[in-house]
Amino acid sequence: MKFVIMAAGANKNWNDYLGIPKHMIEVGGEPLIGRTARLLKENGIDDYIITCNNGCYAQFGQTFEPTRYDCEIDRFEETFLEEPVCFLYGDVFYTPEAMYTIVNMPTKDILFFGSEGEMFAIKIKNCEHFKKAKAHIKKLYLEGKINRCICWEIYRYLHNLPLDEHILTDDYIKILDGTDDIDFPWDYENFKERMSKLL
């Protein structure tokens, strides 16, 4: 299985805080994206790719510059959906335990990992199933039939759930160990003290 760290995008919510991309913020003296790459390697994963628009990420592994995105779910690049793949979010602080769970949890189809409200990773064995769901959700969004087009809509569609209701099924893998994403500058400032306790 290939692992893809998604670190491309405009980072509008981050607004060039500290003068660096949010994936490069330091946690315990280590860039966030470097930590994710290190945790993958510590779990025996050397075959991973970082999707990015910034050349500085190449120091952490092989990079891939994505095509233009029409909407957020385009970050799940079709290029990588030809073989089993696990997509990891580049703006997530993963604990070692969380990364171990994501890497080692087997799946015959598609598994979603996250907290009650944030998605951290999607592990895909059945690529055709995922691609069809992605295409359907994107079509609904571009036609103006839904207001949002992110991983949650794919999750709900695949589980036959209402697309506008936040419901978690029994096969959603909850990670509630301090792993969390960083979207805004205040996330980083609020999480710094808590993260230091998890290192």
> Looking at residue 52, what DSSP letter applies?
-
pTM here is 0.94
Residue 115's pLDDT band (boundaries 50, 70, 90)? very high
For 8, 108, 133, the CA distances from 55, given in Å and listed in that order, are 11, 35, 32
User: Mean of the per-residue pLDDT values for the chain?
Assistant: 92
Specify the pLDDT at position 183.
87
Distances (CA, A) of 146 to 50, 73, 76, 140, 143: 29, 13, 19, 6, 8
Query: Across residues 126-133, what is the average pLDDT?
Result: 97
Q: Which amino acid, 196? A: S
Distance CA(21)–CA(8), nearest Å, equals 10
Output the CA–CA distances (angstroms, integers) from residue 133 to 5, 53, 125, 157, 174, in the order listed: 21, 26, 14, 7, 22
| Backbone φ, ψ for residue 169 (5° rounding) | -90, 170
Please state at what angle helix 32-42 crosses helix 96-104, rounded to 10 degrees: 50
What burial letters (b/e) apply to 61-77, b meaning 16+ CB within 10 Å? Answer: bebeebeeeeeebbbbb
pLDDT at position 198 is: 64
Q: Tell me what pLDDT residue 195 has.
A: 67
User: 78: how many CB neighbours lie within 10 A of its CB?
Assistant: 12
Maximum distance among all Cα pairs of the chain, rounded to whole angstroms: 46
**Phi and psi at residue 57, in whole multiples of 5°?**
-75, -15
Q: Which domains does the chain have, with CATH numbers?
A: 2-198 (3.90.550.10)
